[in-house]
Amino acid sequence: MPLRVYNSLSRKKEEFVPLHGKRVSLFVCGLTPQDQTHMGHAKTYVAFDVVARYLRHKGYRVFYLQNVTDIEDRIIARMKSTGRAWNDIVAQYFAEYLDVMDRLHCTAVDVYAFATDYIDEIVEQIQGLIGKGHAYVAEDKSVYFDTTTFSGWGKLSGQKIEELRPGARVEIEERKRHPADFVLWRAQKPGEPAWDSPWGKGRPGWHIEDTAITIRHFGPQYDLHGGATELLFPHHEAEIAQAESYTGVAPFVKYWMHGGMVMVSGEEMHKSLGNFWPVTAALQRYEPEVIRFFLINVQYRGPIDFTPDLLDEAKRSYGRLSETVRTVDAERRRAPEKGKADSELRAGTKRALADFDAAMSDDFNTREAIAVLFEYVRAVNKAIETGAGRAELDSAAAAFRTVGGILGLFQAPALATDRFDGVMDLVVRLREDARLSKDFATADRIRDGLAALGIVLEDTRDGVRWKQK
């Protein structure tokens, strides 16, 4: 099934055809490390982690690049309010981000590119833009992009340049020739960190770092640019203006992908609104895989209206899935070679993998893909009840490994699980031995002790089974 991607640039789903065969260049707007990583960040980065994982699963060689905005207004504001050095603030919150990403199994990024490591490329691009008449140096030695010189302005967002008039939400800088113009290089203000440039000391604007980084790594064109929807305008529009004016090559990016936001009870998540959810707070209450499951149980373009109740619900749903994955692993060790339900299970596994792939190839529809898994889990449980043989259970376990690898779920270390399952099988056998020798006190003690740990024993036709509640 050909992969189709919704392209924000054409506003429709298109067949995914990379610029260079099986090679895929992917860039996603990264973090500005100045505060805790929140659930909105997690949604974006988990979504694009799945995108990269699925592309790799399909045989593409993906180079996934993410920038780190390590100098920006909010970092400077933090610096002033705390008295700490800018790079100290960045180091702290970036380390926290990496830790959170690691716990959420976001492993797909190849390179994190820090903006301040690309000052040479940034200066070179700005010089090029000035040279071609697309940028101007203002009185205070800041440099602005002249949006009236770029005829393609608005092709991503649909915003027309004449529509942008001074308004409450647009901070009008006196130095700009046109309200839509944006800063490429900001002249140093007293006490601010700064780098040398032909226009004097200063720091890069936010938009220019992305094009400096991607042109350095990918050249004038690349395949996929991802980010949260709120970055589409002006950030991504500005990127297109900069890159296409600088290189003369269009389109700068072939496919633009935008992920939906995390809302909290219909409102944007924001510290000032008191509804701010750092990922670390969620991680104190929920397993990382539950959070990941919760975040991908929507198609990436869709928003999530977040409440803690929904996380509780996700915990129950994910519990059902992972319990079956674990049961299959335990059952296949003790299953007979053949079982009555083998042909149904074989057909069920084949269908589940095909349907899963169809869902993922339709613009990475993880919500549909997860629905397929729930259907498959019902089929697997039924087959186990009827009697499933080892080979088919092995195939089911392999299917769960495949889809788990793509979604970043069911990743609990196999060794620990195997060992735990082995110990549990032993405990169950010891209890059976106690019962056979009529030592009911010991048998009850084992059952009650396990119940206290959340493990229940069930008598079935094929003997005693254990289950985690």
Write out the residues near Zn ion by the rule CB under 5 A: 29, 210
Short-list 365, 367, 369, CA closest to 352: 369
CB of 307 to Zn ion, least distance (A): 29
**Residue number, 105 or 254, with CB nearest to Zn ion:** 254
Give the shortest CB-240-to-Zn ion separation in angstroms.
Answer: 12
Q: Measured from the CB of residue 30, what is the shortest distance to Zn ion in angstroms?
A: 7
Pick from 169, 223, 185: nearest CA to 55: 223
Taking the complex as a whole, the smallest distance from the CB of residue 125 to Zn ion amounts, in Å, to 15
Q: How far is the CB of 302 from Zn ion (least distance, A)?
A: 21
H or E segment at 232? none
DSSP conformation class of 19: S
Q: Which is nearer to Zn ion, 96 or 210 (CB)?
A: 210
- Nearest residue by C-beta to Zn ion? 29
CA-CA distances (angstroms) from residue 392 to 435, 461, 466? 33, 20, 21
Q: 70-100 burial, b for 16+ CB within 10 Å, e for fewer?
A: bbbeebbebbeeeeeebbebbeebbebbbeb
259 vs 348, beta carbon nearer Zn ion: 259
Count CB atoms within 10 A of the CB of residue 280: 14
Closest CA to 147 of 119, 175, 176, 189: 176
Residue 453 has what DSSP assignment? T
Strand-strand pairing, 463-468 and 455-460: antiparallel
- Comparing CB distances to Zn ion, the nearer of 136 and 255 is 255
CB of 183 to Zn ion, least distance (A): 15
Query: Cβ closer to Zn ion: 29 or 279?
Result: 29
Nearer to Zn ion, 123 or 228 (CB): 228
Q: At what angle do helices 308-334 and 390-407 cross, to 10 degrees?
A: 150
Task: Pick the closer one to Zn ion by CB: 207 or 326.
Answer: 207
Query: Which tokens belong to 129?
Result: 């833009």
Amino acid at 90: V
Alpha-carbon distance of 139 to 129, in angstroms, equals 18
In whole angstroms, the minimum distance from the beta carbon of 69 to Zn ion comes to 7
Whether the CB-CB separation of 71 and 33 falls below 8 Å is answered with no
The least distance separating Zn ion from the CB of residue 210, rounded to whole angstroms, comes to 4
- Measured from the CB atom, the residue of 233 and 466 that comes closer to Zn ion is 233
CA distance 351 to 353: 6
Burial 282-297 (b: 16+ CB within 10 A, else e): bbeebebbbbbbbbbb
Smaller CB distance to Zn ion: residue 29 or 123?
29
Residue 210 or 363: the one with the smaller Cβ distance to Zn ion is 210
Q: How far is the CB of 227 from Zn ion (least distance, A)?
A: 6
Partners of residue 465 on adjacent β-strands: 458
CA angle (221 as vertex; 115, 125 as ends), nearest 5: 45
Phi, psi of 128 (to 5 degrees): -60, -40
Residue with tokens 């060689």: 61
Q: Output the smallest distance, CB 114 to Zn ion, in A.
A: 13
| Type of residue at 216 | R
